[in-house]
């Protein structure tokens, strides 16, 4: 599948599809509409795990894992969304963020919470969503999941990340940021 209309069939043939999205910053339920199912049931998602809190031995916390992908749903049954909490005590691992797409006929998706203190900023791995010991640039993945700054790295996140672009970020020595979910589709 390499064409846009392969992923979003309603978008073909004159632009009959209407773009929709739903974002979650706290746990809830995504309920597919009948119009979504009738348009092929295809949704795109960004799922971000909670960040890890740093502070132990002057190390920064890892950002949560980031999962990007597609799911095909076949039912209007609600899908539970569980947002992973950011670590709230020294060295606390971030919580997993999960979307139970299986309720709507798809496959469940999990982005793991950050886990892997480091002296340098870390971020979650976008390909497998593990968020564990994923070292690299502290800019994160699509602006999410920035690694917490350690004692020897001035480029990581300094403290809790609270703005929109930094969900799932680790911290230096304060509470880390919680996870995030965005689901996009056409009707």
With contact defined as beta carbons under 8 Å apart, do 44 and 7 qualify? yes
- Least confidently predicted of 95-99, 114-118, 124-128: 124-128
pLDDT digits (tens, 9 = 90+) for 119-133: 655 555 444 455 544
- % of the chain surpassing 70 pLDDT: 71
Query: Would you list the domain boundaries of the chain?
Result: 19-186
pLDDT digits (tens, 9 = 90+) for 150-186: 665 555 444 444 333 478 888 877 888 899 999 999 9
Residue 141 has pLDDT above 60, yes or no: yes
Q: At 46, which helix (H) or strand (E)?
A: strand 42-48
DSSP string, 108-144: -EEEPPPB--BSS-B---TTT---BS-BS-TT-BTTB
pLDDT digits (tens, 9 = 90+) for 34-54: 999 999 999 999 999 998 888
State residue 133's pLDDT score: 40
Q: Is the pTM of this model over 0.75?
A: yes
Average pLDDT, the chain: 78
State residue 59's pLDDT score: 77
């Amino acid at each position: 599948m390499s064409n846009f209309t392969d992923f979003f069939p309603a978008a073909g043939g004159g632009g009959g599809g209407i773009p929709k999205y739903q974002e979650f910053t706290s746990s809830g339920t995504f309920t597919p509409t009948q119009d979504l199912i009738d348009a092929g049931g295809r949704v795109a998602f960004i799922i971000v795990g909670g960040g890890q809190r740093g502070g132990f031995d002057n190390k920064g916390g890892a950002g949560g894992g980031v999962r990007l992908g597609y799911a095909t749903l076949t039912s209007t049954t609600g899908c539970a969304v569980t947002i992973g909490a950011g670590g709230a005590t020294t060295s606390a691992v971030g919580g997993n963020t999960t979307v139970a797409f299986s309720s709507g006929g798809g496959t469940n998706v999990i982005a793991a919470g950050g886990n892997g203190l480091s002296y340098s900023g870390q971020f979650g791995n976008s390909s497998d969503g593990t968020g564990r010991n994923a070292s690299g640039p502290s800019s994160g993945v699509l602006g999410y999941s920035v690694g917490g700054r350690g004692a020897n790295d001035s480029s990581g996140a300094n403290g809790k990340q609270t703005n929109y672009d930094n969900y799932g970020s680790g911290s230096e020595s304060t509470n880390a940021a919680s996870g995030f979910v965005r689901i996009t589709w056409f009707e």
